[in-house]
C-alpha cells in the first residue's frame, strides 16, 4: 500500500511517463505541485517568464520529440495565459499536457482570489480536459490525459487540479500502468485497393501531404509512394520537410504563398491524393475552385476530417503510416513521363521568384545565408508573418520535425519559446528561430529563460518596424491606407537582448554579414541576430484571402 499527497502522485505519474522537463510558472494554487517537484530528481523545471512561454516551450519539446510534453501554471491568470498555447496545440494537433492549479474545491464558484473556470474556458481548445475532484481520480486522469494526447490525432489535454486535491492524501496498491497510444482505427482494405487503382488510372495525379504525415512518422513512406508512382508532391505548411525540398518530385508548398507553378499543377490534376492534410483555407483557396478536375483520395486518422471541406471519392480513416504500408505494395510503378515533363515545364515557366537571393541583407538572401551555415540537423522554428512565409518558401527543409511553426492558429510569439523547447528536447542540435519584430515582442520576456537555460537558440530577427503581413494586406487590399501596422518608434532589440543577458549581433553595420552570421550561428548558446528588412518587401505570390489559388498576384 502506498500513500502520498495528490501533488506527489502527479509528479510520480509524470516521471513514470518519462517526463524529464517541465516548463511552468508557479503561483498560489500550484504551490503543492511545486513543492512535490522540488523532491523530483528526474524532472528539470524550466522557469518561464510568462505562462504562454511555458505552453510554447512544451509545444517545442513535443514537436521535436513527437510525444506528450508538460507545462504547468497556477489558477486564474496563470491558466488564462496558457490558453493561446493550448489553442495553438489543438489546431496543429500537438500532444501537450497542461497542468493547472485551481482554487480549493469548496471555493470553486465563489469568485475566489485567482479563480477562473479553467475547465469551461478550455473545453473548445483541448482534445479533452479534466477537473479533478479527488486525489484518487488522479490515478486515472493523469494516465488518461497522456493516452488521449498521443492517441489517434494528437492534441492538448488539460488537467485542472484544485489546491486541496493536491494536498489530499491518497492510498493505493499499485501505480497505474504507463500508458501507450491506443491502436489506430482499422480500415477497409477494399478502399486501399480502390485507391491503388485510381492512382494507376490517373494521368495527372498529385500527392498532397499534410502534418499528419509528420505526426505518423510516415515521411519516408510518402516519399516512396511518390517515387514509385511518379507523383508530383506538394506539402502544406505543416508538412514541409516530409519530402526534401530539393527532391525532383517536390512541388514545394501549395496555397496562399505557394509558387505559381505549384498551384497551376494542382489546377490541372485529375487525381489528388491527400495524406494527413485537411484542406485548410490557406492551402486550398476558394474551395469550389481547388483542383476542379480532380478525383480525391483522402487519408486521415480523424474521421471528421473526411468529406469536411471537399468530398472524397475514396476516404480512408486510418493512421497514415499503416495506410501507406498497405497501399505501397499495391501501387504499380509508373514513369508518367508526359505528366512529369509537363510539370517540369510549368515549373520552368512559373517558378518561385526569389529576388535578392544572393544578397544577405534581403529576406530570401538572409534565409539562404542562414541555411548555408547549417546542415539538416538544425531545427528551424518561425514566428508568424512575412518572415514565416519567406522561410516556408525558401528554406531547404529536408527532414521531418526540422521545421516547427504555428500553422493553424498562426500565433505571433510562437517561434522563440518553441525554439527554446526544441533546444531543451534536442540539446545537440542548433535551433534557429526566424522571427519578426512584431512577433518577437509578443514573447520577448523568454530571452531571460533562454539565457538562464543557456539553450543553443539563435533568433534571426527580420526587423521591418512593422506588422509586415498586415502592412502588406493594407497596401494590397485596403487602398494603401496604413493603419496600425507601422511601429512609429524603433525598438533597440540589441539592448533588450543585452538586458536579458543574451548575446546579440547586428548584421546591419557588419562589413561582411555572411561572416558575422556564420560566427553567431556557430557559437554555442543563445544569441539574437538582428537584420533590418525593407518594410516594402512583400511576400509573393499571394492569393487574396478567399480567392481561388489560380488568382495569384505578384
Partner 1 sequence: MSEQNTNLSEYIPDVPEHNGFTKVVLELGVANHPGVMSHICGLFARRAFNVEGILCMPVGSGDTSRIWLLIFEDERLSKMIKQVEKLEDVLYVRQHGGEHPVFGRLDEFFQ
Kindly give, in sequence order, each residue whose CB lies less than 8 Å from that of residue 72, ignoring residues fewer than 6 positions away: 22, 23, 24, 25, 30, 33, 45, 54, 98, 99, 100
Q: Which of 124, 509, 511, 524 binds partner 1 (CB under 8 A)?
A: 124
Kindly give, in sequence order, each residue whose CB lies less than 8 Å from that of residue 202, ignoring residues fewer than 6 positions away: 270, 271, 295
Contact 484, 433 (CB under 8 A): no
Q: Which of 337, 480, 481, 489 binds partner 1 (CB under 8 A)?
A: 480
Q: Could you say whether residue 429 binds partner 1 (CB under 8 A)? A: no
Q: Nearest Cα to 69, choosing from 99, 27, 29, 25?
A: 99
Stretch of residues binding partner 1 (CB under 8 A), selected from 58-66, 293-301, 388-396, 546-554 = 546-554
Stretch of residues binding partner 1 (CB under 8 A), selected from 124-132, 246-254, 255-263, 518-526 = 124-132
Q: Could you say whether residue 481 binds partner 1 (CB under 8 A)? A: no
Q: Quick one: cell of 521?
A: 550561428
State the residue for C-alpha cell 483522402: 298
Q: Could you say whether residue 540 binds partner 1 (CB under 8 A)? A: no
Nearer of residues 308 and 514 to partner 1, judged by Cβ: 308
Q: Could you say whether residue 479 binds partner 1 (CB under 8 A)? A: yes
Q: Kindly provide the b/e burial profile for residues 240-279, where b requires at least 16 CB atoms within 10 angstroms of the residue's own CB.
A: bbbbbbeeebbbbbbbbbbbbbbbbbbbbbbbbbbbbbbb
Q: Least CB distance from residue 308 to partner 1, whole Å?
A: 6
Q: Least CB distance from residue 304 to partner 1, whole Å?
A: 4
120 CA to centre of own chain: 25
- Looking at residues 7 to 66 of the shown chain, list those that interact with partner 1 (rule: CB under 8 A): none
Q: Where are the alpha helices (DSSP H) in 151-259?
A: 163-167, 189-201, 211-215, 219-229
Q: Could you say whether residue 477 binds partner 1 (CB under 8 A)? A: yes
Q: Which of 110, 140, 304, 345 binds partner 1 (CB under 8 A)?
A: 304
Contact 185, 216 (CB under 8 A): no
Q: Which of 120, 427, 490, 499 binds partner 1 (CB under 8 A)?
A: 120
State the residue for C-alpha cell 528554406: 395
Question: Which secondary structure element, helix H or strand E, spans residue 144, and what is its range?
Answer: helix 138-150
Q: Least CB distance from residue 550 to partner 1, whole Å?
A: 13
Q: Least CB distance from residue 535 to partner 1, whole Å?
A: 13
Q: Could you say whether residue 104 binds partner 1 (CB under 8 A)? A: no
Q: Quick one: cell of 350?
A: 512559373
Stretch of residues binding partner 1 (CB under 8 A), selected from 456-464, 491-499, 506-514, 539-547 = 539-547
Stretch of residues binding partner 1 (CB under 8 A), selected from 182-190, 391-399, 427-435, 542-550 = 542-550
Q: What is the DSSP letter of 431?
A: E
Beta bridge partners of 317: 300
d(C-alpha 295, C-alpha 288), whole Å: 13
Beta bridge partners of 271: 205, 295
Q: Nearest Cα to 7, choosing from 171, 177, 161?
A: 161
Q: Could you say whether residue 134 binds partner 1 (CB under 8 A)? A: no
Q: Which of 50, 63, 90, 127 binds partner 1 (CB under 8 A)?
A: 127
Stretch of residues binding partner 1 (CB under 8 A), selected from 185-193, 304-312, 330-338, 523-531 = 304-312
Kindly give, in sequence order, each residue whose CB lies less than 8 Å from that of residue 422, ignoring residues fewer than 6 positions away: 60, 61, 63, 64, 379, 381, 404, 429, 431, 457
Q: Could you say whether residue 90 binds partner 1 (CB under 8 A)? A: no
Q: Which of 123, 169, 178, 515 binds partner 1 (CB under 8 A)?
A: 123
Nearer of residues 227 and 289 to partner 1, judged by Cβ: 289
Q: Backbone phi, then psi, for 274, in 5-degree steps?
A: -95, 115
Q: Least CB distance from residue 8 to partner 1, whole Å?
A: 25
Nearer of residues 130 and 261 to partner 1, judged by Cβ: 130
Mark 336-375 with x for binding to partner 1 (rule: CB under 8 A) and - for no binding. Answer: ----------------------------------------
Q: Could you say whether residue 128 binds partner 1 (CB under 8 A)? A: yes
Nearer of residues 230 and 473 to partner 1, judged by Cβ: 473
Neighbouring C-beta atoms of residue 348, cutoff 10 Å: 9
Stretch of residues binding partner 1 (CB under 8 A), selected from 253-261, 300-308, 336-344, 383-391 = 300-308
Q: Which of 34, 119, 208, 462 binds partner 1 (CB under 8 A)?
A: 119
Contact 235, 259 (CB under 8 A): no
Q: Kindly provide the b/e burial profile for residues 435-456, where b requires at least 16 CB atoms within 10 angstroms of the residue's own CB.
A: bbbbbbbbbbbbbbbbbbbebb
Q: Could you say whether residue 303 binds partner 1 (CB under 8 A)? A: yes
Nearer of residues 304 and 341 to partner 1, judged by Cβ: 304
- Looking at residues 135 to 194 of the shown chain, list those that interact with partner 1 (rule: CB under 8 A): 148
Q: Which residues sit at the interface with partner 1, rule CB under 8 A?
A: 119-120, 123-124, 127-128, 131, 148, 286, 302-304, 307-308, 473, 475-477, 479-480, 544-547, 553
Amino acid at each position: 500500500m502506498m500513500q502520498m499527497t495528490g501533488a506527489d502522485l502527479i509528479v510520480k505519474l509524470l516521471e513514470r511517463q518519462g517526463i524529464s522537463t517541465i516548463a511552468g510558472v508557479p503561483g498560489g494554487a500550484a504551490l503543492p505541485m511545486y513543492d512535490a517537484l522540488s523532491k523530483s530528481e528526474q524532472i528539470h523545471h524550466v522557469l518561464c517568464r510568462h505562462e504562454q512561454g511555458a505552453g510554447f516551450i512544451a509545444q517545442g519539446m513535443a514537436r521535436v520529440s513527437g510525444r506528450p510534453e508538460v507545462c504547468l501554471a497556477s489558477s486564474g491568470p496563470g491558466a488564462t495565459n496558457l490558453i493561446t498555447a493550448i489553442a495553438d496545440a489543438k489546431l496543429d494537433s500537438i500532444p501537450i499536457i497542461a497542468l493547472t492549479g485551481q482554487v480549493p474545491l469548496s471555493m470553486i464558484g465563489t469568485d475566489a482570489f485567482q479563480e477562473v473556470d479553467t475547465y469551461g474556458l478550455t473545453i473548445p481548445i483541448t482534445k479533452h480536459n479534466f477537473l479533478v475532484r479527488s486525489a484518487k481520480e488522479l490515478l486515472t486522469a493523469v494516465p488518461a490525459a497522456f493516452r488521449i494526447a498521443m492517441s489517434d490525432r494528437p492534441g492538448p489535454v488539460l488537467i485542472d487540479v484544485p489546491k486541496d486535491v493536491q494536498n489530499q492524501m491518497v492510498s493505493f496498491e499499485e501505480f497505474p500502468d504507463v500508458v501507450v497510444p491506443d491502436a489506430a482505427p482499422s480500415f477497409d482494405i477494399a478502399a486501399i485497393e480502390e485507391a491503388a487503382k485510381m492512382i494507376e488510372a490517373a494521368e495527372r495525379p498529385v500527392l498532397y501531404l499534410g502534418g499528419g504525415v509528420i505526426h505518423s512518422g510516415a515521411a519516408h513512406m510518402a516519399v516512396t509512394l511518390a517515387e514509385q508512382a511518379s507523383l508530383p508532391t506538394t506539402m502544406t505548411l505543416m508538412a514541409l520537410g516530409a519530402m526534401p525540398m530539393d527532391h525532383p518530385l517536390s512541388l514545394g508548398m501549395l496555397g496562399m504563398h505557394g509558387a505559381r507553378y505549384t498551384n497551376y499543377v494542382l489546377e490541372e490534376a485529375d487525381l489528388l491524393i491527400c495524406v494527413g492534410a485537411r484542406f485548410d483555407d490557406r492551402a486550398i483557396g476558394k474551395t469550389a475552385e481547388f483542383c476542379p478536375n480532380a478525383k480525391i483520395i483522402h487519408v486521415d486518422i480523424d474521421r471528421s476530417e473526411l468529406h469536411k471541406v471537399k468530398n472524397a471519392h475514396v476516404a480512408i480513416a486510418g493512421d497514415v503510416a499503416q495506410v501507406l504500408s498497405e497501399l505501397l505494395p499495391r501501387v504499380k510503378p509508373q514513369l508518367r513521363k508526359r505528366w512529369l515533363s509537363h510539370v517540369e515545364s510549368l515549373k520552368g515557366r512559373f517558378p518561385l521568384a526569389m529576388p535578392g537571393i544572393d544578397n544577405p541583407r534581403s529576406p530570401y538572401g538572409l534565409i539562404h545565408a542562414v541555411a548555408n551555415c547549417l546542415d539538416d540537423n538544425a531545427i528551424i522554428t518561425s514566428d508568424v508573418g512575412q518572415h514565416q512565409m519567406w522561410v516556408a518558401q525558401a528554406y531547404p527543409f529536408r527532414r521531418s520535425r526540422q521545421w516547427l511553426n504555428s500553422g493553424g492558429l498562426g500565433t505571433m510569439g510562437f517561434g522563440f519559446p518553441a525554439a527554446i523547447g526544441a533546444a531543451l528536447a534536442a540539446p545537440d542540435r542548433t535551433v534557429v528561430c526566424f522571427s519578426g519584430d512584431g512577433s518577437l515582442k509578443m514573447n520577448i520576456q523568454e530571452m531571460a529563460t533562454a539565457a538562464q537555460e543557456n539553450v543553443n537558440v539563435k533568433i534571426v530577427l527580420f526587423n521591418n518596424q512593422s506588422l509586415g503581413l498586415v502592412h502588406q494586406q493594407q497596401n494590397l487590399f485596403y487602398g494603401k491606407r496604413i493603419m496600425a501596422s507601422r511601429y512609429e518608434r524603433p525598438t533597440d532589440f540589441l539592448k533588450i537582448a543585452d538586458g536579458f543577458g543574451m548575446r546579440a549581433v547586428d548584421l546591419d553595420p557588419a562589413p561582411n554579414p555572411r561572416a558575422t552570421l556564420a560566427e553567431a550561428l556557430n557559437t554555442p548558446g543563445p544569441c539574437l541576430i538582428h537584420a533590418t528588412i525593407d518594410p516594402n518587401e512583400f511576400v509573393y505570390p499571394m492569393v487574396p484571402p478567399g480567392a481561388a489559388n489560380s488568382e495569384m498576384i505578384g
